[in-house]
Amino acid sequence: MISLMLGLLMLMLMLLHGVVTFPLELNPPRVVVRYGDSVSVNCSTSATDHDGMGWEATFGGISLEQDVNVVTWTVDNLTDWTIEPKCYINLIDGEQPSIVLPVILYKTPDRVSISVLNHSGPMVEGTQYQLQCDIQNIAPLQNLVVKWYKGNETLDIVTYSNRPEDVSATLMISPNRNDDGAQYRCRAELDLGPEGPQPHPTVTSEPLSITVHYAPKFLLGNDTVEVSAGSDVSLNCSAEGNPPPEMKWNYTAARNVKLSTEGRQRTVRITTATSTNAGIYICTATNIVGTATRTTTLLTMKGGSSSIIYRYLVIVVVFLVVLVVLIVFCRRKKRQGHYDFIPVNQPNNVPMMPMSTTGEGNHDPEGYPTKV
């Protein structure tokens, strides 16, 4: 009874001074243990008025030990996912304070793999596919982070919060032609906090390399081509596609037209071009994904640039000639309807008379009427 009163008195004094100390301390206060590894934690007290200390645990429990200030919980091979070790002390006043040791038991996955769900073989541009990341036997899931990568680019990060089990994470992708040959990976990472191992334990899948099939697309080219008559010309047609497209030209056949193939380029070669070669030339690229068409118009001219200049000069000369003719004609037109005068050596009494080109009667060579 006296000891109880003393204990209460000490407690009141501590409350009055605003200081309350807990009689137990764990070192470390929290542990992160890899599945199957060993663990050791000390439980100590500064109290002297106790009857003993011990650990309660499904593995590594320690019965009450007297006259000690430290008891150590130790397990050589920890495999219990639900373990909650508790250190306790029996005070002489009959109280039994205790403290639970937080234990995080983790296990890296046995295997991480990536695959395409419900699909095999090449992918088609613009089509959606589902990638699946299978993570076998990992714990704890509340600390699991799944990261998706395309090359070195992070695509997505997913966290979980369930009990230890297998995990199948998924990711939707819609690849394009630039993704042909791209490598996808998924990574299982355990973020166990500051007490856990640094860097975080991770397991990464083997890369999944994808093949993307896409429709043909033509490279740059001329839609209209001009060629001088008698010259040679080549019309090139090439397209990108996967699988490599088959190239075909459609045009009016002629003896001076031949086809040739160099790599993925299909070429129409015309020698000594004539007006019969003018027209529309259609190139078609086809593979299993689709078809693309490109039209080229061929224009033939009678001569080269020098003949064009010559034609312009001829037009200018003709214009000048026509202009001169028009000027002369206009001047002659103005002369019609004017009077002619008698030469100076004729008598002054001869009256002036207008010239007439029409009318009755006879006229002499000078244009004067004669008497009948």
Determine the longest span between alpha carbons in the chain, in angstroms. Answer: 188
- Under DSSP, is residue 294 helix (H, G, I), strand (E, B) or coil? strand
pLDDT at 336: 56
Structure tokens at 252: 């009016």
CB 130 within 8 A of CB 117: yes
pLDDT at 127: 96
| Cα(292)–Cα(283) distance, integer angstroms | 8
pLDDT at 161: 67
Torsion angle (degrees, nearest 10) of CA 326, 328, 334, 340: -160
Read off φ and ψ for residue 359, nearest 5 degrees. 120, 170
Averaged pLDDT in 10-residue chunks for the chain of 372 residues:
46 44 89 94 90 93 92 95 93 90 93 95 96 92 93 92 73 96 96 90 96 92 85 92 94 92 88 92 95 92 57 70 78 58 48 45 44 39
Q: What kind and span of H or E run contains 144?
A: strand 144-150
pLDDT at 352: 46
**DSSP per-residue letters across 44-100:** E---SSEEEEEEE-TTT-EEEESS-SEEEEEESS---TT---EEEEEETTS---EEE
CB 368 within 8 A of CB 353: yes
**The 3-state secondary structure of 151-218, one letter per residue:** CCEEEEEEECCCCCEEEEEEEEECCCHHHCCCEEEEEEEECCCCCCCCCCCEEECCCEECCEEEEEEE
Residues sharing a CB contact under 8 Å with residue 119, sequence separation 6 or more, in sequence order: 129
**The 3-state secondary structure of 241-276, one letter per residue:** EECCCEEEEECCCCCCEEEEEECCEEEEEECCCCHH
